[in-house]
Amino acid sequence: MAFYGEPQFSTVGDTFIVGCEFGKSIVYRDTTFHNNPDATNPKFNTKYGMYEPNCGLSNVYMSWGHDEYMYHVLKHNKSTLPEEGLYMIRFHSFYPWHAGGDYMHLCSNKDLEMLPWIKEFNKFDLYTKKEKIPDIEDIMPYYQSLIDKYCPGKLK
C-alpha cells in the first residue's frame, strides 16, 4: 500500500512501537515517517518515550496490524494455543525487534525468553509462499484438526 500513496507508517507491514522514538531498522523509516504525527511530538522522540525501561512488550502500544488483531481474536475466544504460539502470532511482523534488534531496552525477561520462538516461526512466514496453490481438499483434514484443537467452536 505504501507504494500506492498510502503513508507507510499507517499501512499493514512491519509493526513497531508507538509512543517512543522509531526504531532505526523500520523499513522506509527515513523516507516515509515524516508525516507521522508522533515524529513531531517531543514526548515520543526519546529512547523510552512514554514507557519505563524493561516494561515488557505486553505493556507498550504497537502499530495496528493483522498480528495484533489475530492475537486479540484468539485471546477473546479463549484459544488453547500455548503462550509461545500466541507470542509468535502477536509479534511475528515486529521485524524491528526480532530482526533489527531495536526496542530491546523495553523488553521484559519474558519477551527475551519468547524471542527464539518468534525467530523460529519467522522461517515459515515471509517469502515462504509457493507459486503452486495446494490442494485444499487434501490438506483440509490436517488444518481443520488444528483449528478444532486450538480454536474450538464458532469464533466471535
Closest CA to 118 of 78, 83, 80, 70: 83
Q: Is 125 annotated as a binding residue?
A: yes
Q: What is the pLDDT of residue 152?
A: 86
Give pLDDT tens digits for 103-129: 999 999 999 999 999 999 988 876 667
pLDDT tens, residue by residue, 137-150: 999 999 999 999 99
d(CA 93, CA 76): 21
pTM above 0.85, yes or no: no
Q: How far apart are CA 62 and CA 17, in angstroms?
A: 4
pLDDT, tens only, 52-99: 999 999 999 998 888 889 999 999 999 999 999 999 999 998 999 999
> Averaged over 14-18, what is the pLDDT?
87
Any binding-site annotation on 92? yes
66 marked as part of a ligand binding site? yes
Residue 26 CA to residue 82 CA, distance in Å, equals 29
